[in-house]
């Protein structure tokens, strides 16, 4: 079955850019409705809504800094939050980019060739369709909408243009202005644009980076002036990294204004919210007391194990990389040339650019260094089989990688030893089936560490995975520590029952408590992957949706974004999950 992303890649190869650009405009103009129709939703309750907006004028100011209005994935949720927070007495303000930034997170090389982007930025392809519909949608709510251009001066445009064109390329990444990491966010934006962990291989990489540097400066200037003009008590916006979101977060933190970042979660219908920074960072330091003292019972264990088994096919998640994975062990063994009766060690990579932006370096400078170090080690350990599973998102993700890990491995190891086997990203082989046969699994930043440790598989962490520092895995903080852990392989035992239960507790917390369901959205095919399921605004009032109450309480009052899932039954799909897992582990 051909997926939407595969169709997009085929279209990009056979249809000229100019024709794609015209078709995209026609589709957006006449077929798509990228944002919720709040005029229609509010119609039956217009008087009640206007009264709520008027009453909230004296409430605490809350900034929803959407900025990139064309990201319909964000405007659906952030417009819901705007309404829900207003109904709870907050004076909600919106921030939108009105076509002034020369680069942003809406720009991707899959949509705009870099030769076009380096000259024009997003203006020719994205800006008008990004800003105008979102501005109209937010205005229909009757809330205050701020635009970037209102908070930028002609002098600041000139300063940003001059500095971005004259600064030495090598100095951009580490450039800091008034305590703001302008260059770091510019680099993250450019790497995401290309879908690459490095700009060195991109002919126009420098030009694109300078665009993002310019945009980072302008975003910082605009947000700083907005915050000087208005006293905001709290704020909320998506991602928390890239451009301009990363700069918004920088300025808010500098001003000591509480901020909340959110992203679409893994479980379908759910979202992850976090205080102060993106969840990619905050989950690394979340106190273990948030979950380790949770009262545990067979019901919760069955719920989490049923869900974890569903992830083998992704039936309960937003994203499915392998709809029909190959799970027959004998077939897998023959295809890979692996003898599973001998000691195997699994290795799970992340997407190169994703790992570079989302996960802080720890034992190694970056993921590639970790991969190459590990291969060199196992080249001297013929007694062990190393099975490297390349992440399917390299080719199936929203932003396919332009720096495939297999290419990087081949550059350094033209011929791999026979005991090192690579499963390429396009392979339908089940990652879980292979890893369940492993004596231990090596990870850098993947969440699979949460899942596999729940199945008693020992995990060695070489990067900043969320399972790290939870009292569950073997964590390395230096190459020397990592080497010492590798030297202990093969391990004599799997994870103990006590540690396995701790892992399952954390998995439950991670997938069911930190991932908050919203009953007012429902999954849909295509993009965005959900739509509003609302008929009246009373459905967004306090006390109706527990998930929405948790989110709003977190934004307005600083409460933890933890959904009380243990008090609510979860759907079960696999009655024989535990037996199946035990069977595979034998």
Q: What digits encode the pLDDT tens for the residues 121-145? A: 999 889 989 999 999 999 999 999 9
Q: Are residues 108 and 252 in the same domain?
A: yes
Whole-number pLDDT of residue 374: 98
Is there a domain that residue 495 lies in? yes
Is there a domain that residue 554 lies in? yes
Contact present, 446 and 391 (Cβ < 8 Å): yes
Whole-number pLDDT of residue 358: 63
Q: Which two tokens stand for residue 580?
A: 């199946």
For 459, phi then psi, to 5°, come to -120, 130
Is there a domain that residue 142 lies in? yes
Provide the b/e sequence for 112-134 (b: ≥16 CB within 10 Å): bebebbbeebbeebbbebbbebb
Q: Which two tokens stand for residue 328?
A: 């027959």
Is there a domain that residue 321 lies in? yes
Give the C-alpha separation, 417 to 421, whole Å.
8
Q: Which residues make beta-bridge pairs with 460?
A: 442, 474
Q: What angle do CA 190, 194, 196 make, to 5 degrees?
A: 95
Q: Are residues 492 and 461 in the same domain?
A: yes
Q: Are residues 4 and 133 in the same domain?
A: no
Give the C-alpha separation, 412 to 421, whole Å.
15
Give the C-alpha separation, 321 to 390, whole Å.
12
Q: Are residues 416 and 507 in the same domain?
A: yes
Q: Running DSSP on this structure, what letter comes out for residue 317? A: B
Alpha helices in 31-145 (DSSP H): 38-42, 46-55, 72-87, 114-120, 128-139
Is there a domain that residue 50 lies in? yes
Is there a domain that residue 344 lies in? yes
Give the C-alpha separation, 137 to 34, whole Å.
10
Bridge pairing between strands 521-523 and 515-517: unpaired
Between the two ends of the chain, the Cα-to-Cα distance in Å is 33
Q: Tell me the pLDDT tens digit for each residue of 480-516.
A: 999 999 999 999 999 999 999 999 999 999 999 999 9
Whole-number pLDDT of residue 575: 37
Q: What angle do CA 458, 319, 199 make, to 5 degrees?
A: 80
Which residues 6+ apart lie within 8 Å of 153 measured at CB? none
Q: What's 562-582 look like in SS3?
A: CCCHHHCCCCCCCCCHHHHHH
Q: Are residues 37 and 110 in the same domain?
A: yes
Q: How many CA atoms lie within 13 A of 492 on its CB side?
A: 0
For 191, phi then psi, to 5°, come to -65, -40
Q: Are residues 271 and 388 in the same domain?
A: no
Whole-number pLDDT of residue 254: 97
What parts of the chain have a pLDDT lower than 70? Answer: 1-33, 355-361, 569-586
Q: Are residues 448 and 537 in the same domain?
A: no
Which residues 6+ apart lie within 8 Å of 554 measured at CB? 260, 273, 275, 560, 561
- For residue 342, the enclosing domain spans 291-514+579-585
**Count: domains in the chain:** 3
Is there a domain that residue 186 lies in? no
Question: Is the peptide bond prior to 341 cis by the omega test (within 30 degrees of 0)?
Answer: no
Is there a domain that residue 295 lies in? yes
Whole-number pLDDT of residue 348: 97
For 427, phi then psi, to 5°, come to -70, 135
Q: Are residues 225 and 113 in the same domain?
A: yes
Contact present, 17 and 113 (Cβ < 8 Å): yes
Q: Are residues 52 and 130 in the same domain?
A: yes
Answer positive or negative: Cα dihedral of 202, 208, 209, 212.
negative
Q: Are residues 474 and 500 in the same domain?
A: yes
Q: Are residues 38 and 22 in the same domain?
A: no
Tokens 């590639």 map to which residue?
Answer: 368
* Measured CA distances, 272 to 16, 68, 495 (Å): 38, 19, 29
Closest CA to 472 of 205, 291, 347: 291
Q: Are residues 1 and 117 in the same domain?
A: no
């Amino acid at each position: 079955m051909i997926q939407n992303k595969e169709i997009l890649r085929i279209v990009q190869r056979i249809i000229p850019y100019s024709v794609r650009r015209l078709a995209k405009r026609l589709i957006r103009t006449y077929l798509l409705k990228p944002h919720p129709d709040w005029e229609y939703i509010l119609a039956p309750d217009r008087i009640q809504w206007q009264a709520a907006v008027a009453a909230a004028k004296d409430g605490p100011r809350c900034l929803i800094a959407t900025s990139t209005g064309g990201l319909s994935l964000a405007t659906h949720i952030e417009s819901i939050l705007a309404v829900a927070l207003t109904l709870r007495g907050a004076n909600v303000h919106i921030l939108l980019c009105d076509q002034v930034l020369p680069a942003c997170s809406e720009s991707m090389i899959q949509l705009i060739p870099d030769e076009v982007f380096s000259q024009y930025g997003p203006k020719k392809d994205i800006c008008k369709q990004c800003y105008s519909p979102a501005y109209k949608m937010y205005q229909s709510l009757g809330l205050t909408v701020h635009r970037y251009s209102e908070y930028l001066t002609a002098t600041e445009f000139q300063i940003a243009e001059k500095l971005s064109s004259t600064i030495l390329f090598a100095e951009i990444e580490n450039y800091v202005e008034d305590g703001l990491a302008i260059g770091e966010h510019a680099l993250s934006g450019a790497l995401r644009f290309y879908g690459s962990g490095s700009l060195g291989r991109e002919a126009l990489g420098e030009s694109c980076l300078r665009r993002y540097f310019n945009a980072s400066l302008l975003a910082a200037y605009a947000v700083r002036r907005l915050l000087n003009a208005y006293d905001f008590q709290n704020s909320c916006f998506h991602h928390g990294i890239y451009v301009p979101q990363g700069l918004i977060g920088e300025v808010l933190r500098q001003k000591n204004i509480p901020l909340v970042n959110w992203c679409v979660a893994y479980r379908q219908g759910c979202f992850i919210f976090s205080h102060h920074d993106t969840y990619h960072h905050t989950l690394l330091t979340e106190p273990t007391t948030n979950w380790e003292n949770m009262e545990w019972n067979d019901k919760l264990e069955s719920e989490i194990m049923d869900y974890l088994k569903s992830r083998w096919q992704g039936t309960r998640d937003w994203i499915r990389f392998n709809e029909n994975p190959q799970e027959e062990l004998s077939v897998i063994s023959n295809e890979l040339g692996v003898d599973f009766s001998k000691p195997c060690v699994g290795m799970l990579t992340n997407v190169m650019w994703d790992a570079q932006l989302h996960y802080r370096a720890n034992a190694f400078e970056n993921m590639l260094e970790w991969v190459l170090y590990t291969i060199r080690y196992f080249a001297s350990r013929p007694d062990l089989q190393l099975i490297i599973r390349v992440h399917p998102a390299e080719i199936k993700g929203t932003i396919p990688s332009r720096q495939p890990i297999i290419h990087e491995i081949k550059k350094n190891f033209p011929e791999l030893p026979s005991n090192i086997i690579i499963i390429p990203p396009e392979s339908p082989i089940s990652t879980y089936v292979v890893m369940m046969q492993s004596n231990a699994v090596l990870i850098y930043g993947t969440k699979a560490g949460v899942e596999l440790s729940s199945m008693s598989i020992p995990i060695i962490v070489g990067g900043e995975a969320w399972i790290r520092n939870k009292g569950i895995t073997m964590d390395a903080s230096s190459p020397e520590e990592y080497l010492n852990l590798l030297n202990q392989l093969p391990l004599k035992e799997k994870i103990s029952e006590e540690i396995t239960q701790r892992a399952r507790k954390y998995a439950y917390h991670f997938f069911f408590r930190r991932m908050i369901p919203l009953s007012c959205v429902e999954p849909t095919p295509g993009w965005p992957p959900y739509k509003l399921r609302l008929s009246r605004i009373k459905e967004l009032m306090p006390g109706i949706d527990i998930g929405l109450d948790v989110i709003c309480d977190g934004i307005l009052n600083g409460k933890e974004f933890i959904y009380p899932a243990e008090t609510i039954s979860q759907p079960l799909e696999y009655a024989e999950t535990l037996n199946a897992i035990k069977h595979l582990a034998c």
